[in-house]
C-alpha cells in the first residue's frame, strides 16, 4: 500500500510540475513559407490558401500570420472572434501573429454582430486583416479597440502600387510619440500654494500611424517641505501594432524625489501611479495608472498611512488601439468600425490614456464609407481638471481606392471554340454572349476555351455536352484568382431530328466501344464459354 501511495505522489508531482511548466507556453507551430509584394497582393494572387499558419516575407519583413478562409458568400449573424492564446501576448512573451480572414465572395455583417479578435489584459494580435473578394456590407461592428499588440513594431506593407510602390501604403513601425512626463521641483517652503499639471497628450499618428500614449497628471502640496521633486509617468510612442501606452499620475505631499511609472514601449504595460503624504492627518492622495497592456496600477495613501499602496480602484483599464486592415472589391459601411485607445486611471492625479490604432480600408469601389473611429483614450480624471492625465493621441483612418488589373475583377477568355469552329459573332474577350447552330444529327458539342490570364480558372462549361433539340443556353463559368466569377453564354439551336436513335448499347451493363447513334451494325466477339448475354439499348439521345 505504501508503494502505491508513493507512486501516486510521484505521478501527482510530475503532473503538477508539467502543469506549471505548461503555463504561458505556445504549442509548436509549423509555418508555411510564402513570399509576396504586399499583404493585399498576397490575398489577391494566392487563392488556394487554406486555414493555418504562414510565414510571409514582404520586402524584407517577415509577418507570422494565422489565416482563416471562407468559401462563397457569407452572412454573419452572430459575433465572430478570431484567434486564441497562441496569437496574443501573455506574461512571458509578446504577441505572435497577425490574424487574416479571407472570404472568397461577398461578406455581409448583420446589425448587432461584432467582428473582432481575441485579446487579454496583455493585448491582442499583431493586427487584424479582413479580406473579401466581393462586396463587404457592414451593418454591425468591426473593431480593434483595446486590442493593440504587445510587440515590437515593424513596417507593414499593405499594397504595392504599380506606379508609386509602397509610398502611401505602408503603416510605419513607429506611430505618434508619447506625452512628456510632467515634473515639478520645489526649493522653498510655501505653506499656502499647491502646484498642478495636466498630463501631456500623446501625439496623433500620421500617414497611417497609431497615436502615442498620454502622460500622467501631477499635483504637489508644498506645505512644510523645502525640497522635493515630483514627476508623472511619460506616455510611450505608438507602434504599427499598438497605440502608445499611458503614464501614471503622481500626487504627493512628501519630502524627497518621487516619480510615477512611464508607459512601457512596444504596447506594453501602462505606467503605475504614485502618491504619498508626509502626515496621516493630511488628505489622502491617489495616483492613477496609465492605460496599457495591462493597464497600470493605481496607488493610494490609505487612512492613517503616510506612503502609498496599490489600489485597483485607481488602476487603468487594459488596452490600446490596434491595427485594422480591410479590403473588399466594393465597400458599403452602414455600421461601426473602431480601433480606439482606452482611458487612464481616475484618481487625485489621473493616469494617461492609450493611443488610438490604425484603420486602413482599401477597395476598388466605395459605396458608403461611414465614420470609422481611431480616437485616443480619454484622460484619467483627476480630483480637479487641472490634474487630469493626458489623453491618448488619435490614430489614423485611411481610405484608399485601388485600381486593380482587370483580370482581378473580371476574368476573361482569350478564345472560345465549339466543335472546332468559331462561334457567332466572332469571338472577343469583352463580348459575353454568343450563338451556335447545330445540324439535326449533331446532338453533341465539344466546347473548348482558353483563358486570357492563366492564373484564373475555368470552373464549368467546357468539355463534351449533349445539346437538346431546339433552343438552349449553355454557360461557361470563370473564377478569378481572388474568387470573383464571370460567365460567357452560348445560345444553341439544333433542328429536331426526324429519326430516333439510341444513346448507347450495353452488353451485361457495359457500354460497347465505338458506339455511334448513326452506326447500326456492330461485331462483338464472345468467349466460347459464354452461353447468354444481356443486351440493352440506352434511350435518351436528344431528339
pLDDT tens digits, 413-450: 999 999 999 999 999 999 999 999 998 878 889 999 99
Contacts of 270 (CB under 8 A, 6+ apart): 213, 245, 246, 247, 248, 263, 264, 289, 290, 291, 292, 293, 294, 295, 296, 316, 318, 344, 351, 352, 354
pLDDT tens track for 55-71: 999 999 999 999 999 99
Residue 510 CB-density burial (10 A; 0-12 exposed, 13-18 middle, 19+ buried): exposed
Residue 436 CB-density burial (10 A; 0-12 exposed, 13-18 middle, 19+ buried): buried
- Residue 280's CB: how many other CB atoms inside 10 A? 12
Instruction: Output the pLDDT for position 6.
Output: 43
Instruction: Output the pLDDT for position 409.
Output: 85
Domains and CATH numbers, the chain: 407-494 (2.60.40.2340), 502-543 (no CATH)
Instruction: Output the pLDDT for position 425.
Output: 96
**Contacts for 45-54 with beta carbons within 8 Å, 24 or more apart?**
45/455, 45/481, 45/482, 46/481, 47/104, 47/480, 47/481, 47/482, 47/483, 49/102, 53/29, 53/97
Distance CA 251, CA 346 (A): 12
Distance CA 392, CA 202 (A): 5
**Which residues of the chain have a pLDDT value below 70?**
1-27, 188-193, 222-226, 498-500, 538-543
Instruction: Output the pLDDT for position 500.
Output: 64
Whether residue 408 has a cis bond before it, omega within 30° of 0: no
- Residue 449's CB: how many other CB atoms inside 10 A? 17
Q: Specify the pTM.
A: 0.81
Instruction: Output the pLDDT for position 515.
Output: 82
Instruction: Output the pLDDT for position 280.
Output: 85
- CB of 115 closer than 8 Å to CB of 109: yes
DSSP per residue, 25-89: -----PPEEEEES-HHHHHHH-----SEEEEEEETTEEEEEEEEEEES-EEE-S-EEE--TTTS-
Instruction: Output the pLDDT for position 18.
Output: 38
Write down the H helix ranges in 244-394.
none
Distance CA 486, CA 465 (A): 20
DSSP-assigned letter for residue 255: S
C-alpha cell recorded at residue 236: 510611450
Residues 17, 19, 25: CA angle, nearest 5 degrees: 115
Amino acid at each position: 500500500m505504501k508503494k502505491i501511495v508513493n507512486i501516486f505522489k510521484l505521478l501527482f508531482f510530475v503532473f503538477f510540475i508539467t502543469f506549471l511548466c505548461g503555463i504561458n507556453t505556445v504549442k509548436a507551430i509549423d509555418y508555411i513559407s510564402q513570399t509576396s509584394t504586399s499583404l493585399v497582393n498576397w490575398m489577391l494572387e494566392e487563392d488556394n490558401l487554406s486555414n493555418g499558419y504562414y510565414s510571409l516575407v514582404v520586402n524584407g519583413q517577415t509577418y507570422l500570420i494565422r489565416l482563416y478562409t471562407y468559401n462563397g458568400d457569407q452572412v454573419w449573424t452572430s459575433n465572430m472572434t478570431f484567434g486564441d492564446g497562441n496569437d496574443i501576448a501573455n506574461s512571458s512573451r509578446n504577441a505572435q501573429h497577425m490574424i487574416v480572414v479571407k472570404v472568397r465572395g461577398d461578406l455581409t455583417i448583420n446589425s448587432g454582430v461584432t467582428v473582432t479578435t481575441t485579446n487579454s489584459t496583455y493585448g491582442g494580435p499583431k493586427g487584424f486583416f479582413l479580406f473579401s473578394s466581393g462586396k463587404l456590407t457592414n451593418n454591425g461592428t468591426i473593431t480593434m479597440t483595446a486590442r493593440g499588440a504587445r510587440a515590437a513594431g515593424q513596417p507593414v506593407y499593405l499594397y504595392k502600387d504599380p506606379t508609386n510602390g509602397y509610398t502611401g501604403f505602408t503603416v510605419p513601425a513607429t506611430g505618434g510619440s508619447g506625452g512628456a512626463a510632467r515634473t515639478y521641483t520645489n526649493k522653498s517652503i510655501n505653506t499656502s500654494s499647491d502646484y498642478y499639471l495636466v498630463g501631456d497628450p500623446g501625439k496623433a499618428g500620421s500617414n497611417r500611424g497609431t497615436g502615442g500614449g498620454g502622460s500622467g497628471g501631477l499635483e504637489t502640496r508644498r506645505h512644510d517641505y523645502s525640497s522635493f521633486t515630483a514627476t508623472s509617468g511619460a506616455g510611450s510612442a505608438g507602434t504599427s501594432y499598438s497605440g502608445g501606452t499611458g503614464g501614471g499620475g503622481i500626487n504627493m505631499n512628501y519630502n524627497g524625489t518621487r516619480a510615477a511609472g512611464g508607459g512601457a514601449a512596444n504596447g506594453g504595460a501602462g505606467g503605475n501611479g504614485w502618491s504619498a503624504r508626509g502626515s496621516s492627518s493630511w488628505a489622502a492622495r491617489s495616483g492613477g495608472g496609465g492605460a496599457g497592456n495591462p493597464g497600470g496600477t493605481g496607488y493610494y495613501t490609505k487612512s492613517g498611512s503616510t506612503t502609498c499602496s496599490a489600489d485597483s480602484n485607481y488602476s487603468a483599464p487594459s488596452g490600446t488601439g490596434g491595427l485594422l486592415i480591410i479590403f473588399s472589391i466594393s465597400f458599403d459601411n452602414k455600421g461601426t468600425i473602431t480601433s480606439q485607445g482606452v482611458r487612464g486611471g481616475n484618481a487625485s492625479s489621473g493616469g494617461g490614456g492609450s493611443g488610438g490604432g490604425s484603420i486602413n480600408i482599401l477597395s476598388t469601389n466605395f459605396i458608403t464609407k461611414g465614420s470609422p473611429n481611431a480616437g485616443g483614450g480619454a484622460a484619467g480624471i483627476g480630483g480637479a481638471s487641472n490634474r487630469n492625465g493626458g489623453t491618448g493621441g488619435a490614430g489614423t483612418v485611411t481610405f484608399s481606392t485601388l485600381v486593380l488589373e482587370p483580370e482581378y475583377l473580371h476574368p476573361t477568355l482569350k478564345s472560345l471554340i465549339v466543335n472546332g469552329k468559331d462561334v457567332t459573332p466572332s469571338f472577343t474577350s469583352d463580348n459575353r454572349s454568343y450563338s451556335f447552330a447545330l445540324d439535326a444529327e449533331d446532338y453533341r458539342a465539344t466546347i473548348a476555351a482558353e483563358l486570357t490570364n492563366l492564373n484564373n480558372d475555368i470552373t464549368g462549361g467546357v468539355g463534351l455536352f449533349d445539346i437538346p433539340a431546339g433552343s438552349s443556353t449553355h454557360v461557361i463559368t470563370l473564377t478569378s484568382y481572388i474568387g470573383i466569377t464571370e460567365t460567357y453564354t452560348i445560345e444553341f439551336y439544333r433542328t429536331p431530328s426526324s429519326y430516333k436513335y439510341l444513346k448507347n448499347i450495353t452488353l451485361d451493363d457495359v457500354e460497347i466501344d465505338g458506339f455511334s447513334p448513326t452506326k447500326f451494325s456492330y461485331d462483338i466477339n464472345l468467349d466460347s464459354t459464354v452461353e447468354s448475354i444481356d443486351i440493352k439499348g440506352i434511350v435518351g439521345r436528344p431528339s
